[in-house]
Structure 1
Amino acid sequence: MHSSNGYTYFFVISMAVVSALLLSVVTTSLQERQEFNRAVDVRENLLKAVGALEEGMTPTEIDRFYRSMFTARSIEGPDGQQHDYYRFGPEERPLGYVLPVSGKGAWSTIRAFLALEPDLNTIKGITFYEHGETPGLGGEIENERFTRQFVGKKIFRDGELVSITIAKAALASESPHAVDGISGASITTGSINRFLKKDLMNYKPLLEDGR
């Protein structure tokens, strides 16, 4: 009887240990996969910002392209804080720079990548990759019809960092520093105007040194 009970206890304890080990392995594997997916999502948007994302690229191809063409760096801004950015292209001849920008929108924190040409003045592209703005209104910031307006616009005017303003169509069509807004999304676009200028000021040492 005692031998039978001992075997039962041993079996239960062994199964518990094995189950715990299996759960640990599965959890670790799942976390690693989630981290990889998050990294790929960020890298996909980096490629999109510089116009290098090709249709049908696999996560592995995106990761490989990122590792071969992007270098993560940081610079101390006027606020005394370190601000991360990405250099795109060969070290000796960069093809552009990507600056992470973010701020509070109407309903959420909006995160974006703003890509600049090597002159650190002309916009190469922009992608709003994370937000919770209202679909059909503020959510239209991720629509290509909106983001492609930024391409070719300038963030400096007569040597002064002025950023890009989301404005009414009449102003946007005449200015190299403005794009047309989104109907019914004035709070969202107004928020982008504020944090885009603020974040660009944090990169001012980089932007001015490269000009």
Structure 2
Amino acid sequence: MNKQSNLYTIAYIAALAVVVGAALAITSLSLHDRQQQNADRDKMRQILAAAHITVPADSVIAAYKRDITDAYIVNAEGKRVEGDAFDVDVDAQTKMPALRRLLPVFECRAADGEMKYIIPVYGAGLWGPIWGYVAFDADGSTIYGAYFAHKGETPGLGAEIEKPAFSSEFIGKTVFKQGVFMPVAVVKAGQKPLGGEDYVDGISGGTITSKGVGAMLSDCLTPYAAFLKNLSQKKSN
């Protein structure tokens, strides 16, 4: 074949594309297990972070197995259902009606010796998804800790939701007021919500991301109201 011809050039490019594509596919398959392990380890780290448990990267799995004493799924009635809590796609669940969602719960023995109940949340920020975990005390109302993360919020603005300065504002806030479930609101600094619920100040300059966090908490925590109320009743008995 004439190496100067268009046919040769096309054939060469096609062959090169096949070889490179095959190499990339083989590499992706060979690294899949490791990538999944890294993703699982990071998820474990985030769950633990909501309960103020931070450990070196090489100790995350051991800490998770030690401190997460149980993991299960509940429904909107607060009852356990079958399934693996760790494998629940929270993003997909948020797109379903609240009454049909699978709601993961992670029980954790925290540093104070008390049991904490960690709930995942998922929503939308300005530029992409935001997510996190909220840990509750055994009373089912008081927030023990929170962890938030994002995919692409603006550095110095919306991205500040991942900083402890923001997540620590949620500590001690409650979601039940005189027996009524009221998720914590995120409002502009200097303002207060009209409903009387507990609130935290939003990120300065990150209004849309802050509103996204507030909407995320309302959408994701509300289906857990029955479960959290059951915890409150057990605590009072």
Q: Same fold (TM over 0.5)?
A: yes
Aligned to 1:53: 54
Distance 1:27 1:190 in 2: 37
Deviation at 1:205, TM superposition (A): 1.8
Task: For 2:231, give the aligned amino acid.
Answer: G
Distance 2:227 2:160 in 1: 30
**Paired positions, count:** 182
Distance 1:178 1:114 in 2: 15
Task: For 1:190, give the aligned amino acid.
Answer: K
Deviation at 1:29, TM superposition (A): 4.5
Distance 1:29 1:127 in 2: 32
Long gaps (5+) in structure 2 = 1-21, 77-97, 233-237
Aligned to 1:15: none
Aligned to 1:35: 36
Asked whether the equivalents of residues 150 and 159 of structure 2 are also in contact (C-alpha less than 8 Å), the reply is no
Distance 1:27 1:107 in 2: 27
2:137 to 117, 121, 125: 117
Alignment of 1:152 onto 2:172: yes
Aligned to 2:99: 79
Deviation at 1:181, TM superposition (A): 1.3
Task: For 1:207, give the aligned amino acid.
Answer: L
Deviation at 1:169, TM superposition (A): 3.4
Which of these two proteins has the greater Rg computed from alpha carbons? Answer: 1
Asked whether the equivalents of residues 121 and 220 of structure 2 are also in contact (C-alpha less than 8 Å), the reply is yes
Task: For 2:42, give the aligned amino acid.
Answer: D
Deviation at 1:28, TM superposition (A): 4.8
Deviation at 1:167, TM superposition (A): 1.7
Task: For 1:48, give the aligned amino acid.
Answer: A
Equivalent pairs: percent with the same residue?
30
Deviation at 1:72, TM superposition (A): 1.8
Alignment of 1:181 onto 2:202: yes
Alignment of 1:210 onto 2:211: no
Aligned to 1:3: none
Deviation at 1:117, TM superposition (A): 1.2
Q: What does the per-residue CA deviation read over 1:59-108, in whole Å, with 9 as the maximum and x for residues that have no partner?
A: 3x210111122122111125122111211129xx8610110001111111
Deviation at 1:39, TM superposition (A): 0.7
After TM superposition, the structure 1 stretch with the greater mean CA deviation from structure 2, 111-120 or 122-131, is: 122-131
Distance 1:140 1:107 in 2: 14
Task: For 1:189, give the aligned amino acid.
Answer: S
2:108 to 88, 105, 108: 88
Going from structure 1 to structure 2, the CA distance change for 1:107 and 1:129 (only over 3 Å counts) comes to same
Q: TM-score, normalised by structure 2?
A: 0.70
Long gaps (5+) in structure 1 = 1-19
Deviation at 1:177, TM superposition (A): 1.1
RMSD of aligned alpha carbons:
2.3
Alignment of 1:62 onto 2:60: yes
Distance 1:80 1:176 in 2: 26
The 3-state SS of whatever aligns with 2:173 is coil
Alignment of 1:136 onto 2:156: yes
Distance 2:167 2:57 in 1: 23
Asked whether the equivalents of residues 96 and 117 of structure 1 are also in contact (C-alpha less than 8 Å), the reply is yes
Q: Give runs of ≥4 in structure 1 deviating > 2 Å.
A: 26-29, 168-172
Q: TM-score, normalised by structure 1?
A: 0.78
Going from structure 1 to structure 2, the CA distance change for 1:58 and 1:107 (only over 3 Å counts) comes to closer
